[in-house]
Amino acid sequence: MIHKCLFPAAGYGTRFLPATKAMPKEMLPILTKPLIQYGVEEALESGCYEIGIVTGRGKRSIEDHFDINYELEHQISGTDKEELLSSIRKLTSSCTFSYTRQNEMKGLGHAILTGETLIGNEAFAVILADDLCHNANGAGVLSQMVALYKKYRCSIVAIEEVDKNEVDKYGIIQGEEIESGVYRVNDMIEKPSIDKAPSNLAIIGRYILTPDIFDILRVTKPGKKGEIQITDALLEQAKQGRVLAYKFQGKRYDCGSIDGYVKATIDFYENFKH
């Protein structure tokens, strides 16, 4: 069973400057909840109650968010505003939160390796909070992946089809479909040009990783921009047939981009009204 979920949250969020100059991008709100809270709710729904967060400088508000604010609680106690804290109270009472810092920005692979101290020697999930996922008709994306992990017991990446002109923004997989929506990965390339992309199946910010990924990351050489890429480490597992890609049910919003963030806000508002 997967009980631990890691949130890499040390990035600068430069696409949202100046808003993210003093506020973590993971704390940007969609309606009344920050992005990272949606991610933790998805993790808890899937059975992950041990939450590890890899932070960096200027990210203290994330820790404060998942803590009790006694002064605020006292001020709104007994008022109609108290109900507004019910969702965060559920998380703080149901989950444990642990934090470690990534001192240098060396890529997602390095961020995940930094989180090893919070994970230990067991399989775990990874959620990138700026990929907001929502499945109105059933289980959340991570719950779907945990169910798949129980069957196959190997690393799993979530994928979706993207426009061919967008492949250079993602890790792209190549694989054989072994059941509906499930592919055994035999190759993956980080941000390929259109002519070098093996498919238009793009990895998005949901992973289940087996613990040997840490040993692989330790010896993974930096790739583009001098960063350690998780796709390079996963490719080593894929060579042994131990990585699946899952075309998930639901919708994903790229809230790391302004367009995706606005779209998510509008869609969630429309759903919230109804």
**pLDDT tens profile 61-110:** 999 999 888 888 878 888 888 888 888 989 999 999 999 999 888 889 99
Q: What are phi and psi of 173, to 5 degrees?
A: -105, 160
Distance (Å) of CA 49 to CA 4, 53, 74: 6, 13, 27
The CA distance from 110 to 106, in Å, is 6
Q: pTM for the full model?
A: 0.94
Coil vs helix vs strand at 92: helix
Residue 267 burial (CB count, 10 A):
16
Q: What's the pLDDT at 273? A: 60
Q: What is the mean pLDDT of residues 122-134?
A: 97
What pLDDT sits at residue 80? 81
Mean pLDDT calculated for residue range 214-233? 90
Contact status, residue 215 vs residue 113, Cβ threshold 8 Å: no
**What's the chain's average pLDDT?**
92
pLDDT above 70: percentage of residues in the chain: 99
CB 208 within 8 A of CB 246: no
How sure is the predictor about 28, in pLDDT bands with cuts at 50, 70 and 90? Answer: very high
- Bigger pLDDT: 239 or 82? 239
Q: What would the mean pLDDT of 216-227 be, rounded to a whole number?
A: 88
Dist CA 63 CA 21 (whole Å): 18
Q: What is the mean pLDDT of residues 134-143?
A: 93
Question: 197 versus 157: which is more confidently predicted?
Answer: 157
pLDDT band at 11 (very low <50, low <70, confident <90, very high): confident
Region 191-209 average pLDDT: 93
- CA 117 from chain centre, in angstroms, equals 18
Mean pLDDT of 188-213: 93
- pLDDT the model gives residue 69: 85
Spatial CB neighbours of 54, under 8 Å, sequence gap ≥ 6: 6, 7, 8, 9, 10, 99, 100, 101, 102, 111, 112, 114, 115, 118
